Amino acid sequence: MPESKTKKQLMGRVIPVSPGIQMFGPPPNPGFNTWAKMRANPVIALVRLAATFPIRRMELVVEATDDAPAGAEEFIEETITPHLRVLIKEALRALDYGFAPFELVYAQEKGSIVIKRIKALSPAQTIIKQDENGLFSGLKQGVVELTRDESLLYTYDREYDDLYGRPRHENIRVIWHHWNSLLGSYANYATKVSSIIPVLRFPGEETRIIDGQEVSTEEIAQEVLNNLASAKGVGIESSPIDRSVETMQEYGVNPESFAAWSLTFVEASSSHGQDLLNAIEHYEKLMVRGWLMPERSILEGHHGTKAEAATHTDLGIAASSEIQHDLLNLINNQVLNRMLNLNYGPDAVDTLKYSVISVSPRERDFMFQTAREIYRTLASKDGLAGIQDLVDLAALAEQTGLPVGEE
């Protein structure tokens, strides 16, 4: 049977809403409130940190072509680079909400147009404007509208002309709901394990005369249970119901099993909760995978080797490279080129760009070992003078962090 779907209006767009698996009740609908709650989950918070950390810590450098205007490189370094750390951090919220909108606040300084502030806007309160061709044309919040030149937009996992994107939380929204349900079930189970549940059997629809008043057996049974809850003693009727004790003994039947009143206790075993814990752990793995991170790079492993864990970590870093590439395009196309055009004219566009200083730990270790060997074996000035003809030692020392002495 095909899965039924409905439509829900969300910030000016219609999105499909799937009921998901009904095992734990219907999951919450997609939306900013749901996605914000999901961020508080400890597993999601951890995988979010691991997935975004390499991107937040990436180092950017401005590269200029031969056609770059004089002084443009220094101008960009002074006016744009200080904003990039905050821009990258806020843009990564698109992984949570599908898109990250910004307002560009300009100012005039020393005859130049500069970006005074890149202001992050709330996705829940922002509507994306598109022209007749589906291209981004600005942002709107209430009665305030920003033009394309006054705004900035980063979309994650865009499909066709849907500039609202698709958050990674949508990969795991149903899984997150099931995880919460299982955690609640385990909490209830743990409460039951820590206590003993009394079970009282009594003859129904009967009455007794107590202190001259007619009292039902149900009321008496409830009073017995109340006394047990308050750790008081109780008395239980043990006479069989319409049975001959001798007859029952003759046929090997225990007369107590036919007593009108009987009290037993149910005590759960704590070992039964392991199934719930296993299910919770399974859903945690699915949440990590849904965020496109191998689980062994985040969660505690029970099997496998350290090398396999390192491979999982490398895969997680590789998964972040696509976001890194998208953010570089955002910075170069929507920020850097815009400032070049405003201050140096259209001919200056694409004459400068930001690039990532990317030296892997393996490459850094190799260069460090190589440089250390050079410094150790070539102690004389003549030896160093000879090797300098082949290797740029200053550049090697800068990339590896080796100390450089005074000339």
Antiparallel, parallel or unpaired: β 60-64 and 99-109: unpaired
At 257 the pLDDT is: 58
At 338 the pLDDT is: 95
Does residue 7 fall inside a structural domain? no
Does residue 148 fall inside a structural domain? yes
**3-state SS of the chain: helix, strand, coil percent to 5?**
50, 20, 30
List the structure tokens of 26: 């219907």
Same domain, 326 and 367: no
Same domain, 125 and 143: yes
Question: How many separate domains does the chain show?
Answer: 3
Give percent above pLDDT 70 in the chain: 63
At 309 the pLDDT is: 47
What residues are paired with 136 via a beta bridge?
Answer: 130
Same domain, 61 and 157: yes
Final residue of a structural domain among 266, 286, 311: 266
List the structure tokens of 303: 């099997």
Same domain, 203 and 77: no
- Rounded to 5°, the CA angle 87-90-96 comes to 145
Provide the domain limits for residue 259.
Answer: 197-266
Same domain, 135 and 61: yes
* Parts of the chain with a pLDDT under 50: 1-23, 302, 305-307, 309, 311-312, 368, 371, 375, 378-381, 400-402
Same domain, 86 and 142: yes
Rounded to whole angstroms, the Cα distance separating 234 from 87 reads 71
Same domain, 109 and 90: yes
User: pTM of the prediction?
Assistant: 0.65
Same domain, 133 and 155: yes
Contacts of 130 (CB under 8 A, 6+ apart): 136, 137, 161, 163
Contacts of residues 73-76 at CB distance under 8 Å and 24 or more positions apart, as own/partner, are 73/352, 75/112, 75/343, 76/336, 76/339, 76/340, 76/352
List the structure tokens of 117: 């502030």
Same domain, 55 and 122: yes
Of 317, 307, 301, residue with least CA distance to 361: 317
At 64 the pLDDT is: 94
